Each structure stands twice: as C-alpha cells, then as structure tokens.
Structure 1
Amino acid sequence: MRRLASVVCAMSLLLSAAVGSAAETLIELPTRAGVIQPFLLREAPNPVGVVVLFAGGHGRLGLHREDDAVKLDWGRNNFLVRSRVHFTDQGFHVLLVDAPSDRRGEAGMLDGFRHSAEHMADLAAVLQWVNDRFGLPVWLVGTSRGTESATALALHAGTGIQGLVLSAPMTRENRRGLSLLEMTLDAIHVPVLLVAHRQDACRSTPPEGVEELEVALVHAPRVQVQWWEGGEAPRGEPCQGLTPHGFLGIEREVVQGMSGFMSANQTR
C-alpha cells in the first residue's frame, strides 16, 4: 500500500569542530551574483545517504568560525540543529543550511524568501555540490518553518532528490511564509515522511494538519506518518524547540524513526 501510518513512543572555509564523534566543517558556497550560501557539513564515517536539514523560524543560524570551531549565533535549541549528531550516528552525512549572505537581517528567510526563486537558486547549487562530492541519495528534512524550504526545494528538484521528511509541518496560514497546504503538493513524486507529536500545541503546526497533508500528497509513491508522544516537560512557548513541537526528550528516537524510513525507501 502507498500510505502507511505508524505510531512510535567552489569556495569553502574549512573549520573543524568536535561534536560527538564526527568533525564539522563550515562551507561557504558562491551561488547567485555576490551571494554566499553557508552550510555546516557533518560527515558520517560509513555513509548511506545525505540529509539536508532546514531549521525553523527565520533560519538565520549565523554560522561562523570561533576558536577554530564552527559556532552558530542562533538555533541551538532547534530540533534538527541539536539532533544533527543522531543523523550521523545513523549513517547519514548532514548538511545544516544557514540563511544566505543577503538574508542576514532580522527577518532572515521569513516573509516569502523560503519559497522564492532566489532561495531555490541557492539550494540548487547546494544540491549540485552534494551530488558532485558524495554521489549518495539526498533527503530533504525540514522542521516547523523549515518545512517550507524543504517542500519548495522538493517541488523545484523533482526526482533529483530521494525524498522528503517533514517534522512539525507548517499547515496553517501565517503572514511570515506559506502553509504547506498552499503549495502544489500534488506535484511531489518522491517518498514523503510526516513526523508529528500528538501534544504539539504550536498554532501553526497542529497535529490534525498532518492528516490534511497526507491526503494532499496524492502522487507521492509512498507517504508515511510517524506519530510521537511523551518526552520531557516543555521549557518555553509552544512553538519553540524545547517543547513537544521540538520533540524534547525523544530526539534520538525520532531521528531513528526518520532514518528507518529513509533507509527503507532508498532506490539508488
């Protein structure tokens, strides 16, 4: 069956940092005229694929060098940012995408940039870099507002990617960007995993929105929903990362669930 539901409890600046067992590198890739697209690269020792991670909110991580290490100014509490070690533990190289050099103001990648032609041009260059360097299956993984970037790129890249993973997906209208339900989801033709916490209280990512997404992804060859519960007591507002919205306390298990889906659906 196509649909399954599961309930489960160029120019580079090379900067190495010890985070867990893998080194991290900051890459600064020229994309559009005069624009640099930064991203953090974390390599797995025996890779089976690559995940391109999109944090939520404004997405302006502020990746930079400090004391011979890769640091970030914002986003440490974001689910995907703090969980990147778990992806490499599962055998996936990690690319963590920052805002480009022309989006370093307060709004970052909000206010329509995440589905813009400029963003797609930057990310197409990132995908080309990944394919040239690794030649491995590439998965797009977004959380919260980052699901807008991931979905827009999936539509832009078509079958040039292996699949799409959306955690706490944006399904309600918001003036700072699109709801995924406003996008042409019937044009997605790759496997899609939807990941949600039943206690997510963020107004933009309600659990019931996941079921609406599942229905709308009519041409994805496989759509699976992973529902999660429990974890640690929330520390912050409902749309912040240290809450059920960010899978607080169950990060490793959630990434293992994502990785299981990705490994089972790789075709090249």
Structure 2
Amino acid sequence: MPAFPKMLAVLALLLAPVGARAEEVVDLGGFFGGGKALLNKPAGKARAGVILLTGGDGNIGIGADGTVQRSGNWIVRTRGDYARSGIASLVLDGGADPNKAIAMMREIAPRVIVVAMSRGALKVASTLPSRPDGIVFASAMLEEARPALGDAAALPPMLIIQHRKDSCRVSLPEGAEAFKAWAGPRARLVWVDGGSSTGNPCQARAYHGFVGREGAVVSAITGFAGSLR
C-alpha cells in the first residue's frame, strides 16, 4: 500500500470510537440506482442495530473512501457513538434503500430500530414491510408522516424525541404531543431541553438539530433499544 493511503487507514483506526471497529462503507443499492451507507459495529457482538435516516433531502455525500460531504446533522456526527453501548449503526445516504439496510442489519444484530430525523420520518412507512423492531422519531415531521403509517396499534414500539424549543414549523412540540396522543401506548415521548440555537430554525444548528444535546439524544435511543425484547 502507498505511504499516504496507508497513513489515512491508520488514522481512521485511531479515530474510531472506543469499543468500535473501523467504519465501513457499504453499498445498499436504492431508489436512484445506488446508495452508500456507513456501517459502525461494536467490537463485540451487537445487541441491537440502528438504521439512521437523516433529514432534508437525505443526501450527505458518502464517498467510496468513507468521506462525508455534509456531516453537520447530529445523526451523521454521532453515528459512531452507539458502538460504545454495543449497538451497530448504519447511516444512509439519500439514495440508499432502507429496507436493504434493515436486511443487512438483521445479519448483525438481533433487533433493528429505524431512527428518522425530521423529513426522514417520511421514509418510515416504506420500512414497515421489513418489520423493524422499533422506530425513533427525532424532531420529526410527524403530521406529514402519520397518514402513511396505518393503524397505530399495528406499529412496533416507538420513541419520539422532541426539543421543547424546536420552532421549525414542521416539527413543533405540539405536533409531538398530538402524535403521542394518536399512538397511545405504542409510543413514548422524551423531551430535550437546553443546548444552543442559531440560524434557520429547521436546520442543523438550531434547537431542531439538538445542538449541544446530542449525547442526551443518543442516550435516549440506546435506552430505547435496550428496552426492546
């Protein structure tokens, strides 16, 4: 191996989260003829796996070498943190097929949870035929996603994570409360406070993006994953 690529490979290993293997680029195929994802696995056997769906158009620009063009979203920045809790993760680029991601993760972990941020919630209904073991909605477009989800009683357990000060018009706190009332016992609502907010209220640096509270969001997701049986 030439010196420079070898140095990059060593650096990637050094920067990998404690308790995790080196990140792997996988090709899942997808809606636009191809879609990459980044796989992070714990050093030991995974106790669960999470499929991470970003907001916006979903396109984060994963390169063949594992580089990410758009990494500002918390769901992308924290993708390796789950490994510390024994949880594998797959963060998907916009063209990647979530159902193929679920199938791949079932080969790695006994339970698979779909985690959808903001507009990513609109993809959740399409994953239901793959029978995810749980669903997490974070700052999600719940009113828009709900009609396609069907009967709440037929859905897997759900976790709603909502910042109390989210002022994005498509993910307001009252929307989370309304969704919880609709879902009844199938869903649990976790509120997040604090952090910071700048710029567009619907973008990654606002309360919508849990800036400064990423650890609390990851902890809520790992706790939810651990509660599933």
Report the TM-score, using the length of structure 2 for normalisation.
0.84
Aligned-pair CA distance for 1:124: 2.3
CA distance in 2 between partners of 1:171 and 1:192 (Å) = 12
* Structure with more of its chain in helix, by fraction: 2
What is aligned with 2:220? 257
Aligned-pair CA distance for 1:180: 1.6
Aligned-pair CA distance for 1:77: 1.3
For the residue of structure 2 that corresponds to 1:227, the secondary structure is: strand
Aligned-pair CA distance for 1:205: 0.4
What is aligned with 1:170? 141
What is aligned with 2:3? none
Aligned-pair CA distance for 1:262: 1.7
Q: Aligned ranges for residues 96-135 of structure 1 at < 5 Å?
A: 96-100=91-95, 122-131=97-106, 133-135=107-109
Q: 1:31 to 1:58 in 2, by over 3 A?
A: closer
CA distance in 2 between partners of 1:153 and 1:137 (Å) = 18
Q: 1:89 to 1:236 in 2, by over 3 A?
A: farther
- Check conservation: 1:154, 1:164, Cα contact below 8 A: no
Aligned-pair CA distance for 1:260: 1.0
- Check conservation: 1:171, 1:206, Cα contact below 8 A: no
What is aligned with 2:151? 186
**Count of residue pairs brought into register by the alignment:** 214
For the residue of structure 2 that corresponds to 1:64, the secondary structure is: coil
> Greater shift after overlay, 76-85 or 52-61?
76-85
Q: 1:91 to 1:81 in 2, by over 3 A?
A: same
Q: Aligned ranges for residues 170-249 of structure 1 at < 5 Å?
A: 170-172=141-143, 179-187=144-152, 188-218=154-184, 222-231=186-195, 233-249=196-212
What is aligned with 1:161? 132
**Aligned-CA RMSD value:** 2.2
CA distance in 1 between partners of 2:134 and 2:225 (Å) = 8
CA distance in 1 between partners of 2:179 and 2:133 (Å) = 19
- Percent identical pairs in the alignment equals 29
CA distance in 2 between partners of 1:83 and 1:44 (Å) = 14
Q: 1:261 to 1:29 in 2, by over 3 A?
A: closer
What is aligned with 1:7? none
Report the TM-score, using the length of structure 1 for normalisation.
0.73
Q: 1:249 to 1:135 in 2, by over 3 A?
A: closer
Aligned-pair CA distance for 1:261: 1.7
CA distance in 2 between partners of 1:29 and 1:193 (Å) = 26
CA distance in 2 between partners of 1:199 and 1:29 (Å) = 36
Aligned-pair CA distance for 1:140: 0.3
- Check conservation: 1:186, 1:216, Cα contact below 8 A: no
| 1:136 pairs with 2:133 | no
- Check conservation: 1:43, 1:88, Cα contact below 8 A: yes
Larger RCO (CA under 8 A, 6+ residues apart): 1
Find 2:37's aligned residue among 28, 39, 62.
39
Aligned-pair CA distance for 1:100: 1.9
CA distance in 2 between partners of 1:57 and 1:30 (Å) = 20
Find 1:77's aligned residue among 69, 72, 78.
72
